[in-house]
Structures are given as structure tokens and as C-alpha cells.
Amino acid sequence: MLKRKIIVAGNWKMNLDLQAGYKLTEDVIAGVKTIAHVETVFCTPLIHLVGVSAQTNNHSHMSTAAQNIYPKPSGAYTGEVSTAQVKSAGATYVLVGHSERREYFHEDNQFLAAKVDAVLAEGLTPIFCCGESLAIREGGEYLEYVANQIQESLFHLASADIEKVVIAYEPIWAIGTGLTASPEQAQEMHSYIRKTLASKYGETTAESISILYGGSVKSSNAAEIFSKPDVDGGLVGGASLQADEFIKIVASA
């Protein structure tokens, strides 16, 4: 099996003022600077992106991510930000398709495909989020639902481009609820995502793509989840706002 990049990304969402964000980054850097086999990614609000990118710049295994972009290069789109802008601020990654963007801002699979294209065109790496609600999980069609998200937003890409994408599976029912998919449930979905990719791009390409788990990841469950063969790290929400907790999660990978 190919050796995939192990990534632990902390999504701050709309939290922390400027000074608190810089202090959190400083504390996390101190704790993870020797964990070089894991790429630690700070998904910050836009106000932090320049500063946190500067803080992580001297560490080859640390990066920053924008939480969102608009898929136009420039123009009269008040309140939005382009891929060129976030790249100039130091971002390496961009979150695309987070469940909160889908739910609150009604971003559909076609719009997310345009975002993926814009991110790749700028030489950045999309972290493409996918996942199902509790109703879909209980209805039993969760595997097909997530496969459809991937097919509609990513399957237009050439093999050379799909290899540049990171996928994050986030069961919506486990985000901020305290519920967590069991390691077995995470592995089932991650394996199915990889098989879905292989059906289009072949096993070699599918095996090269990092697939992260996101959904109430904590230091108490991270090691067991990350130990599964198709789980290549995590997309961490609330726990990434606590330096000690996030450091333990990174160490678990």
C-alpha cells in the first residue's frame, strides 16, 4: 500500500479573536513541532490567516487553511474571498463543502465542484468534506449518499487533479453533538469512499488519497479511530480550540 500523508486539521470555525488565535497557535506549535510525520493544519478565520501562516512558516509539517472561498477570481462579490487572496495570505489548503456551508449557506454539489476547480487552479489543496445526516444514516442509504456527493463534486476531475484532493468524512450527526462514529463505522465509510474513488480512477490513485475523519474527535478516541487502515488523520472542530487537547490528538496520529 502506498504511504499516504497523515493530516490533522483543526477547524476553528467562527471562534477566537486575533490575539487568542495567535496564542493558541503558539502553544500548539510548541507541542507538535517534533511530530514531523503528521501535517498539522490550522483552519483559521480569515482575520488570522496572515499571522498564523507566518507563525507556521518555518515548520515544514505545519500549514494553514482558509475555511471558505468564492469560486470567482475577483469582482463585485462583497464579503467573499478568492483563492488568490487566501494564497497570498499564506494558505496551503481550503476547506470545501463543510456540512455547515452546505446546511446554512445552501451550497450544493455543483457549486462545490466549481469551488474545487478554483482551489486547484490556484495551486492550493482542497479538503473536500462529505457526510450524512442522522436521518440518512438511520435510513440505511448513507454509503450511497456520500458516494453521490463525491461523484457530483469530484468525478469531473482528471486523475492528476483528484490526486491533489484531500477528503474529509464528517458524519453530520456526530458534529458538535458529543456523538462519534465508532472506529468501525469510520472505517466502513472510509473504505467505501476509497472504493468509490477506485471505481473511477483505479486502485493506485485511490490508495494515494488521504481521507480524514471529522466528527467529535477527542484525545480520548483519536488513537483508536486513527488506527483504522483507511483513516489518514482527522478534521477536528471544538477540540482544536484547546491547545493541550489538540496536541494530544496530533500525537495520536
Positions annotated as catalytic residues are: 98, 170
C-alpha to C-alpha distance for 72 and 186, rounded to whole angstroms: 34
The domain segmentation of the chain, as residue ranges, is: 6-252
Q: What is the predicted pLDDT for the residue at 1?
A: 47
User: What angle is formed at CA 98 by the lines to CA 100 and CA 246, rounded to 5 degrees?
Assistant: 100
Architecture of domain 6-252: Alpha-Beta Barrel (3.20)
16 and 28 in contact (C-beta within 8 Å)? no
pLDDT for 2: 57
Q: pLDDT per residue over 149-208, tens digit each?
A: 999 999 999 999 999 999 999 999 988 777 778 999 999 999 999 999 999 999 999 999
CA-to-CA dists, residue 58 to 6, 14, 53, angstroms: 19, 26, 9
| Spatial distance between the Cα atoms of 105 and 113, rounded to a whole number of angstroms | 15
- Residue 210, pLDDT > 60, answer yes
